[in-house]
Structure 1
Amino acid sequence: MGAAMAIARADITGLVLAGGRGTRMGGIDKGLQLFQGEALAAHAVRRLRPQVGRVLVNANRNFPAYEALGVPVVADSLPDHPGPLAGMLSGLEHCATPWLLTVPCDTPRFPPDLAARLAAALADGGDHARIAMASAPEVGPDGLTVLRRQPVFCLLHVELRDSLQCFIEDGGRKVGAWTAQHGAVTVPFDRPGDAPDAFFNANTPADLQALEHP
């Protein structure tokens, strides 16, 4: 199916990325940390379900806890867990639909229309558009508000699997560097009514506390 055609919900697999080392969380499994009494990954799964046809979780430890979320769990196929790109590659390897939508496990308030808006941007981008990513307003150190890309919130076509594998095997680790090779479409989430904290992520225990008590 060409990107210029509408992308149906059933043609998108959602992937929750929970396979990181949790370094800034002290090495704990970030996706299983509690937010409002429930694991962060559970929030992400529930928020994805109505947006896509199928949901997967990428995890590399504590598999029974992730399997208890009721969706298939896929581990990195590459050794040493080399960052979110490895999780994205695993998602592409297990994706049974033309499109994969990735979200991190630590951003429980991501937009409920994320998939629809990224898909619409790809449909408008022509037959060669294969990646769309979100961007969101952020106040910089100079006090000015700018749109910052959120590259892990990414809708991509399964045909990019080989490209991603080669990029990682060549030492690439930055999501933005890889997506730039394919002319990713950037979709701003700055409309009136868009939640200002939709892309706030819990990298540290302090961040998680800030999410619990805004």
Structure 2
Amino acid sequence: MTPYTALILAGGQASRMGGVDKGLVELAGQPLIARTLHSLAAQSQPPARVLISANRHLDAYAAYGYPVLPDTLPGYPGPLAGLLAGMQAEPDSVLLMLPCDAVQLPADFATRLLAALPGRQVVSASDSVQWHPSLLALQPGLTDALTAYLAGGNRSIRGWLAGLQHDTVPFALPFANLNTLQAVAALAQQWPAD
């Protein structure tokens, strides 16, 4: 099995959540970052290493015991800036990128993405509802390509993936998409007791 580094994106502005720090929003009594870390630890193939991309409350994220990487670019340029920081920190590693609200990953999530990666630069996940370009695995060696893409003023993950050898891996059950506090509250109503 391919060893990989997991990169959790928690560095956004969460504008649809009123600007709160999304990774620290609680779901059924635990912050989303803790739920996502638990989901990663439950993988049939857990990561060899975990990195957290964050730009605020760095001490709160560091308390989980993993390296915390602020963006290396100014002005909150989006998830690709977090990805770039991860690629710069682990230039020789296969990266598995996921947002801090990936709280219900199937146990074979990493295994299936990594199995689809040979022969491609990047693979991302889709489900029965939509494509999730921020749930992806990518080969090392793409740092220069991403740096050039961002230097051109581009910010879209979809746009960057369109220029790469890319494929999607379908999953049956929908992934959580917690972009509002209401969505977090709704999921909390269904969350099993810890």
Tell me if both proteins adopt one fold, taking TM over 0.5 as the criterion: yes
- Residues 124-203 of structure 1 correspond to what in structure 2 (within 5 A)? 126=119, 129-138=120-129, 148-190=130-172, 196-197=173-174, 199-203=175-179
Q: Number of paired residues? A: 187
> What letter matches 1:83 in structure 2?
G
Out of 96, 100, 105, the position equivalent to 1:101 is 96
Extract unaligned runs of 5+ from structure 2: none
- Residues 9-28 of structure 1 correspond to what in structure 2 (within 5 A)? 10=3, 12-28=4-20
> What letter matches 2:112 in structure 1?
R
Do 1:13 and 1:97's aligned partners in 2 also have CA atoms closer than 8 Å?
A: no
RMSD: 1.3
Do 2:117 and 2:139's aligned partners in 1 also have CA atoms closer than 8 Å?
A: no
Q: CA deviation at 1:97?
A: 4.2
Q: Give distance in 1, aligned partners of 2:185 and 2:52.
A: 24
> What letter matches 1:152 in structure 2?
S
Q: Give distance in 2, aligned partners of 1:76 and 1:158.
A: 19
> What letter matches 1:89 in structure 2?
L
Question: Which secondary structure does the structure 1 equivalent of 2:128 belong to?
Answer: strand
Q: Give distance in 2, aligned partners of 1:211 and 1:82.
A: 28
Q: CA deviation at 1:76?
A: 0.4
2:180 matched to 1:204? Answer: yes
Q: Give distance in 2, aligned partners of 1:64 and 1:167.
A: 31
> What letter matches 1:59 in structure 2?
A
Q: Give distance in 2, aligned partners of 1:36 and 1:67.
A: 22
Do 1:13 and 1:96's aligned partners in 2 also have CA atoms closer than 8 Å?
A: no
**TM-score of the pair, normalised by structure 1:** 0.83
Do 1:44 and 1:107's aligned partners in 2 also have CA atoms closer than 8 Å?
A: yes
Aligned to 2:80: 85
Q: Give distance in 2, aligned partners of 1:96 and 1:178.
A: 18
Q: CA deviation at 1:159?
A: 0.4
Identity %: 41
Q: Give distance in 1, aligned partners of 2:185 and 2:92.
A: 37
The 1:91/1:116 distance shift into structure 2, 3 A limit, reads same
**TM-score of the pair, normalised by structure 2:** 0.92
Extract unaligned runs of 5+ from structure 1: 1-6, 139-147, 191-195
